Structure 1
Amino acid sequence: MSDLHALVDAHHHVWDLDRRPQPWLDEPGHAPIRRTFGPHALRCEATRPIDGRRLTRTVVVQCLPCVPETRDLLALADSDPLIGAVVGWADLASPAIGDVLDDLRAGTGGRHLRALRHLVQGESDPAWLQRPEVERGLCAVRDRDLGYDILIRSHQLRQAIELAWRVPGLPLVLDHAGKPPIVSGGLDAWERDIRLLAAHPQVRCKVSGLVTEADHEKWTVDDIRPVWEVLFDAFGPDRLMFGSDWPVCVLAGGWNRWAATVEELLVGCSAAETEAVLAGTAGAFYRLDPTRRKEGPPCC
């Protein structure tokens, strides 16, 4: 993506609770987002520019481990030009994974499928990504020129490092920087593993989801800055991408506050570095079409 005015949100969600329940929203602390969120709501909330750039394109990411939700997201991307790519779900351990991926890509909006994701953060197996059947599924993802979003917690980073080593041809992006333990402040083990993961050149990282790993009520940019500095040094700007994790970020200040924080973190960066973080890295990883018009339903 070469548009110097582009701003890509590389990680957000949508859900319609009348169409498809989200059981995880019943967990304590989620009441503020226990309602329907769609792209129009994102347009209404994401009003703050970053470095003079306003939101132009997004990547919508699965929430549920079910193929029907992925079909819904692909159809939504096909109808709403704000959404440039979909990170969907399919059962990586299934012997039929290749057929499922082919069917998804042949269906409505299938051209927008760019990556898959599994909720590894909820798996108790400390080597889930190394299961033989999962590795076979990930090879099927790779063979179809798709990427893989890694959703893990910081204590699971070794799985991601092993994955990067064992399947080197699979493009990978680490969601939410591996969920560093910002509240506790004990970042040493996280930093060690982040640097090991970043040593693999096919891995990218999303600067997203950090505010919900901090104190939801009291966090400041100074709580986020140590994480940013590690990521910037380990990956470099050409392998970092801005993401909001909206509407989950509503729990800790919302889209505009996170945008203001990212703008502050980018102070001192060159124009090229800022371009990479705000648009270029995501545009290249998810193969976003810079010619697709961004206009959609009117904003609030």
Structure 2
Amino acid sequence: MTVDTHHHLWDLDVRDLPWMTGTEMDPLRCDFRPADLQAAMRGTSVDATVLVQTVADPDETPEMLVLAETVDRVAAVVGWVDLTAKDARERIGRLQTHPSGGWLRGIRHQVEDEPDPDWLIRPDVLAGLGAVEDSGLLYELLVRPHQLPAAIKAAGQFPQMTFVLDHCAKPDVAAGELEPWASRIRALAAHPNVVCKLSGLVTQDDWAAQPDPSRLRSYAEVVLEAFGPSRIMFGSDWPVCLLAASYAEVLGVAKDLTTGLSDAERTAVFDTTAREIYDL
């Protein structure tokens, strides 16, 4: 069995997604609803998924919680709260006491869009992260390589909270750059409270060149060596992955990138670690 720890759903009639700019995003400029997800997963071994927020909108997370209640195979939600808000703790509490709040497992913010590379370690953000820790939720890191130093410090500030790194911190695969990304990944992985999603790599390369595991292998090897298979989890990043590859192709690429692992290690990457981290 397989857990997909990272996918999205959206309805553009409900809200715009401000990150969806430029003609290159045209393939994503349509609705992706539960039926589309079920169709994408058809024929795969995926039996549980984690639905992840797409926008800094307080109304989206309650909607996702209701979807988790009603959509087959959606087993957990990672939502959004304004960490800089003085009442962040109360906002998290309201989500957890929502009628479908039991599906909430974590909080995420699009830190990658913040101009301040040290956003994660600003005093107001650290206070918000403290509220996440006190709530018993995990925090997902959506950062780019230049923001990893702050992520490293944040993980060290909250050693009892689980941090989940999304998309391997988005290395510049298209440019073939490993450093300083690789060194920073190793430093982040030195914190045992951090796990990493093997996700998002196909869209960090030239989309026309994907899916091609050989172009991604050196990045996957860095992550696998740094975190170890027991702290790596598969994520499709559907439907964003459609810019470069189909759902089934992304799953196939991940399988290819982990062929050197033992059966037990691959089971951890594709199943058991996610079930433990997200309490599925």
TM over 0.5: yes
Aligned to 1:296: none
1:26, 1:133 → 2: CA distance?
29
Greater relative CO, 1 or 2 (CA 8 Å, sep 6+)? 1
2:64, 2:192 → 1: CA distance?
29
Task: Provide TM-score, normalisation by structure 2.
Answer: 0.97
Aligned to 1:176: 167
Q: How far did residue 48 of structure 1 move? A: 4.8
Aligned to 2:31: 36
Q: 1:222 aligns with which of 211, 214, 232?
A: 214
Contact 1:48 1:259 in 2 (8 A): no
Q: How far did residue 71 of structure 1 move? A: 0.7
Q: 2:274 aligns with which of 282, 285, 289?
A: 282
Q: 1:254 aligns with which of 232, 246, 254?
A: 246
Which stretch shows the higher mean deviation, 269-278 or 20-29? 20-29
Q: How does 1:5-84 map to 2 (within 5 A)?
A: 6-49=1-44, 54-84=45-75
Q: How does 1:1-300 map to 2 (within 5 A)?
A: 6-49=1-44, 54-219=45-210, 220-288=212-280
Considering only aligned residues, what root-mean-square deviation do their CA atoms show, in Å?
Answer: 1.1
- One-letter amino acid of the counterpart of residue 246, structure 1: W
Report the secondary structure of 2:19's partner residue: helix
Report the secondary structure of 2:106's partner residue: strand
1:225, 1:47 → 2: CA distance?
27
Contact 1:92 1:138 in 2 (8 A): yes
2:23, 2:141 → 1: CA distance?
25
Contact 2:117 2:146 in 1 (8 A): no
1:125, 1:26 → 2: CA distance?
21
Q: Percent identity?
A: 43
Report the secondary structure of 2:4's partner residue: strand
1:128, 1:23 → 2: CA distance?
20
1:81, 1:253 → 2: CA distance?
24
Q: Which of structure 1's runs of 4+ aligned residues deviate more than 4 A?
A: none
1:121, 1:26 → 2: CA distance?
15
Contact 1:115 1:146 in 2 (8 A): yes
- One-letter amino acid of the counterpart of residue 183, structure 1: A
1:168, 1:267 → 2: CA distance?
32
- One-letter amino acid of the counterpart of residue 127, structure 1: D
1:275, 1:238 → 2: CA distance?
9
2:196, 2:62 → 1: CA distance?
26
Unaligned 5+ residue runs, structure 2?
Answer: none
Contact 1:238 1:277 in 2 (8 A): yes
2:134, 2:101 → 1: CA distance?
16
Q: How far did residue 27 of structure 1 move? A: 2.9
1:48, 1:180 → 2: CA distance?
30
Contact 1:205 1:240 in 2 (8 A): yes
Number of residue pairs matched? 279
Q: How far did residue 148 of structure 1 move? A: 0.3
1:126, 1:80 → 2: CA distance?
37
Report the secondary structure of 1:25's partner residue: coil
1:195, 1:8 → 2: CA distance?
25
- One-letter amino acid of the counterpart of residue 64, structure 1: V
1:256, 1:217 → 2: CA distance?
17
